[in-house]
Structure 1
Amino acid sequence: MTIEPPAPGEPRRPLGPRDPGDAWVVRGDGTRYWGRFGAAGLLAIDADRGVLLQHRVAWSHHGDTWALPGGARHEGESACDGALREAAEEAGVPAGAVRPRLLSVLDLEVWTYATLVADVVAPFEPVISDPESRELAWVPVDAVESYLLHPGFAASWPALRSLLAVRPAVVVDVANVMGAVPDGWWRDRAGAAERLIARLTALAEVGVSAERIGLPADTWFPQWLAVVEGQAARVASGGAVEVVAAPGSGDDEIVAQASRLASAGRTVTVVTSDRELARRVTDAGATARGARWLLDQLPA
């Protein structure tokens, strides 16, 4: 558990066990940042209740302000893992209760702060579980700016808020992507589809760079749909990847899924190198990307 030390001049509190990351980073101008390996926080979004904020105790750095549950990252820890661990330690956020949507990183060269924006998929009540919190509360999005915010969070909130309405989805034409790699997939279409979906699942866990998907921020975790047909239609969903078995034409199902998602206000990318299908999904409000766009990102 990361316990941030008191602000200068405040009484010192017991810190307990310390991680090597629990230390200040000091810039040349004397500005201090908590977390030798950077810091991370969780912006949990509940569709009905708003965002989860932490009221910091007075003795903490920038005390008596509201911010996100978060703190120093451990050595070798990813930003996402650090944000989720800190949220569990400071606010009792249960494992699996949130699904990552995007990661936004403030990079000050000597120090970074990563904000993991995640949707609540299993509602929970936050629990004060360390001495740094005075209060934890779900705050409506429109009311956040009425609170006395931590300076760092106050500076980042306008940009983060503008991204809350963006919900990307990627629809994959599995047959077309498989066909782009001459690895003998035609001998076992179902097996080849399973291997591709396993690689999609691995990509879904690490996210897609903002540059790749044409969105702001740093990393996005889109909703993934893999449309299969024919012999591959028996493939099961792969956790983070929803497998959609086309009852008839795979192309028609892809267009239907793209149209449904776009109509719901989602930012939709369809992965296919089929020119006619690309034209159809573009007309439905999606962006078409060729198979190579996806293959270049997939883990081996």
Structure 2
Amino acid sequence: MTVVPPAAGEPRRPLGPLNPGDAWVIADTGEKYWGRFGAAGLLAYDPSRGVLLQHRVAWSHFGGTWGLPGGALHEGESAIRGAVREAQEEAGVPDGSVRPRFTSVLDLDIWSYTTVVADVVEPFEPVISDPESVALAWVPVDEIDALPLHPGFGESWPLLRSLLDVRPVLVIDAANVVGSVPDGWWKDRAAAAGRLRDRLAGLAAPADDLGLDATTWFPQVSLVVEGQARSLADDDEIVVVRADAGGDDAIVDEAVRLTSLGRAVTVVTSDRALQSRAEAAGARILSARALLNTIGR
């Protein structure tokens, strides 16, 4: 592997000093990839308008093709932060306008590219804000294949498209998860449920845990509480479901409701009887231990 800066005379973005990540990674076979620390792109999806695509200027790598706003990561920068930053620089994507749903990683050992698929939560109009774009457009999903696509995006698009309608949700048996760790939760059940709720914010779940493709998902969370924990306050990110009677019944009802809406439901519990009921309702199962391993005990 060789890392080289842009060639003399090659256009650079007029966005301040050259970042150390802005360099080509060249494989032993001669292929070159942009981004010393890897690269990332944002697939912003709005069901009513489609996917935000960038028509690349002729002088850029694979110029003249359509692809995702994105570029080289900075050293130590996460793929999500880098993808959003690049989309802001190239397409004027406003802060808070998208929410990540999943990531998909192409890992070539010497270089990696992460596609961050995000739902538009605040509609916006893109703005060409650097010289790398000829045009920016919301392209309906069914029309994307007709465009001359960037080779990397074109290769990944069939899988990404198949996942656009997949919206996973975790239905969590709060009492079972909290009760699996002997940390004094019985002294204040509402506070223990609150600590779990706070740790679930921004949950990144491995695809294997949800039985899905791609790499990492950011599922919706329905936290089912019962008894004294019903006093748990609502949260902007976590849906708090308060069981009127038995917690198990409320969990199954929530799984049935979400499954009927086409959601990919995973019930989190280690209660075997509840697991059987949840599976009969069409949900996958994740143990309390597996969840705690993901969020950290």
Same fold judged by TM-score > 0.5? yes
Percent of aligned positions that are identical: 62
TM-score scaled to structure 1, two decimals? 0.93
1:274-289 equivalence runs, <5 A: 274-289=271-286
Counterparts of 2:173 and 2:90, CA distance in 1: 42
Instruction: Decide which moves more: 12-21 or 249-258.
Output: 12-21
Match of 2:212 among 215, 220, 228: 215
- Tell me the C-alpha RMSD between the 2 structures: 1.7
What SS does the corresponding residue of 1:297 show, helix, strand or coil?
Answer: helix
Instruction: Decide which moves more: 266-275 or 65-74.
Output: 266-275
Counterparts of 1:127 and 1:110, CA distance in 2: 33
What SS does the corresponding residue of 1:13 show, helix, strand or coil?
Answer: coil
Counterparts of 1:43 and 1:161, CA distance in 2: 10
Query: How many residue pairs are counted as aligned between the two chains?
Result: 291
CA deviations on 1:94-146 (whole Å, 9 max, x unpaired) are 11111111100001111100000111111111111111111110011111010
1:245 Cα shift?
A: 1.7
Tell me the equivalent position of 1:129.
129
What SS does the corresponding residue of 1:166 show, helix, strand or coil?
Answer: coil
Counterparts of 1:244 and 1:97, CA distance in 2: 27
Gaps of 5+ in 2: none
8 Å contact kept, 2:103–2:116: yes
1:251 counterpart = 2:266 = no
1:284 Cα shift?
A: 1.1
What SS does the corresponding residue of 1:104 show, helix, strand or coil?
Answer: strand
Counterparts of 1:172 and 1:75, CA distance in 2: 36
TM-score scaled to structure 2, two decimals? 0.94
8 Å contact kept, 2:89–2:130: yes
1:227 counterpart = 2:224 = yes
Counterparts of 1:162 and 1:85, CA distance in 2: 26
Tell me the equivalent position of 1:175.
175
8 Å contact kept, 1:201–1:238: no
Gaps of 5+ in 1: none
Closer, same or farther: CA 14–265 of 1 in aligned 2, 3 Å: closer
8 Å contact kept, 1:201–1:239: no
Residue 277 of structure 2 aligns with an amino acid whose one-letter code is: R
Tell me the equivalent position of 1:273.
270
What SS does the corresponding residue of 1:22 show, helix, strand or coil?
Answer: coil
8 Å contact kept, 2:20–2:74: yes
8 Å contact kept, 1:172–1:272: yes
Tell me the equivalent position of 1:43.
43
